[in-house]
Structure 1
C-alpha cells in the first residue's frame, strides 16, 4: 500500500511546487508590460538623438553593428556620465583618437544619467573639448545600456570594426594603446 502512495505523493509535490499562488501570479502579470513594451525592450535597433539634434540609428544583433549613419567606420559606443571621474579622465584619450582617425573612426557617447540639463551638458562637452556625438535620448540610452550586457559600471565601451563585427569590450578606463591598435588593425 505504501508503494502506491509514494508515486502519488511525488506527482502531487511536483505539480504544486511548480506553481505559485494566485496572488503571486497576479503580481507577475501586473509587473510585466504589454506586448508592445516587451517588444520594444527586446528590439535591438536604437534611435538615438544627439545634443545637436541629429539622429543616429543603429542595430546590434549577434555581435554585429549595422548602421547607415556609421557605415564603414570603426565605432566605439561609450557609456559615460558627467559625474563619473574615470569618464572624465578618459575624455582626452577619446578626443585625441577621434581627431586622429576622424575619417575612419567614430565614438558615440551614450550619456548614462537622467535629467541632465542640456546647457550643463554642453558646457561640460566644451570644457573637455568633446569632438564626438553624445546621445541624450534618455529612455533609448538606458534601454541600450540594459541590452548591451546590462551596463551598470561606467565608463563601459564596446568597439566594433569597419565590418561591424564586435572587437572589444572595455570596462573602466579605455586603454589607449589597445584601442588604437584595434583601430589600425580594422583599417587594414
Structure 2
C-alpha cells in the first residue's frame, strides 16, 4: 500500500510539474545537441575575476552585452589575449592610451586566454607593460571564449556600444584609428 501511494504521488507530481509547454518539450527533443551543449547555450551569464580580486559580471545574448556596471555609460571592448602573443603585446600601449584618454566612456576587459598562468608571472607582466585596464583570469575566461565565436587565436576583440549592442569584431590587432574614431563619435 505504501509503495502504491508513493508511486501515485510521484505520478501526480510529474503530471503537474512536467514541461512548461509542449513547444518547449519539442524544442528539446528536436535539438540534436548534447545536454552539455544545450546547457552552455542557455547560460550566457559570466562572472569574470580580475587580477585585482574584483568581479566583472556580464550577460551576452543575441549580440547584446548587458552589464549593470557599463550599460548606458561606457563603450566596452572585450579583448581575448595572451602574454606569449607578440600582436597582443603590441596592442597594450594602444589600449592603455585609449583607456586613459577616454576613461569616462570607454572600458576594456582583458580576458587572459592562458590556462594556469602563474600569478606572479602575470603580475610581473602587467607591471612590465604598465597595463591600465582590468585583466581577468580563470576558467570562466575559457567558457566565455567558447561562446564568443569559439575563440581559437589571439588577439581577438569584440566592441559593444554604450547600449550594449555588438558593433564590430577585430581578429588580430585592433586598428587604433578605427577604434578611436568610434569612441570619439559615440
Structure 1-normalised TM-score? 0.77
1:167 and 1:182 in contact (8 A); partners too: no
> For residue 136 of structure 2, what is the aligned residue in structure 1?
135
> In the TM superposition, what is the alpha-carbon distance from 1:165 to its structure 2 partner?
0.8
1:79 and 1:112 in contact (8 A); partners too: yes
Residues 1:58 and 2:53 aligned together = no
SS of the residue 2:108 aligns to: strand
> In the TM superposition, what is the alpha-carbon distance from 1:38 to its structure 2 partner?
4.7
> In the TM superposition, what is the alpha-carbon distance from 1:42 to its structure 2 partner?
3.8
Partner Cα separation in structure 1 for residue 128 and residue 172 of structure 2: 21
SS of the residue 1:146 aligns to: helix
2:87 and 2:155 in contact (8 A); partners too: yes
Partner Cα separation in structure 2 for residue 41 and residue 81 of structure 1: 25
> For residue 95 of structure 1, what is the aligned residue in structure 2?
96
2:78 and 2:110 in contact (8 A); partners too: yes
> For residue 6 of structure 1, what is the aligned residue in structure 2?
none
Partner Cα separation in structure 1 for residue 135 and residue 92 of structure 2: 12
Q: In the comparison of the two structures, how many residue pairs are matched?
A: 152
> For residue 181 of structure 2, what is the aligned residue in structure 1?
181
Partner Cα separation in structure 2 for residue 38 and residue 52 of structure 1: 33
> For residue 154 of structure 1, what is the aligned residue in structure 2?
154
Please list every run of 5 or more consecutive structure 1 residues that lacks an aligned counterpart in the other structure.
Answer: 1-31
Deviation track 1:107-128 (CA, whole Å, cap 9, x = no partner) reads 0000000110111111101111
Structure 2-normalised TM-score? 0.78
> In the TM superposition, what is the alpha-carbon distance from 1:40 to its structure 2 partner?
4.1
> In the TM superposition, what is the alpha-carbon distance from 1:41 to its structure 2 partner?
5.3
Please list every run of 5 or more consecutive structure 2 residues that lacks an aligned counterpart in the other structure.
Answer: 1-33
> For residue 83 of structure 2, what is the aligned residue in structure 1?
82
Partner Cα separation in structure 1 for residue 65 and residue 35 of structure 2: 27
Q: Which runs of 4+ in 1 moved over 3 A?
A: none
State the structure with more CA Rg.
1
Root-mean-square deviation (CA), in Å?
1.4
1:41 and 1:143 in contact (8 A); partners too: no
> In the TM superposition, what is the alpha-carbon distance from 1:185 to its structure 2 partner?
2.1
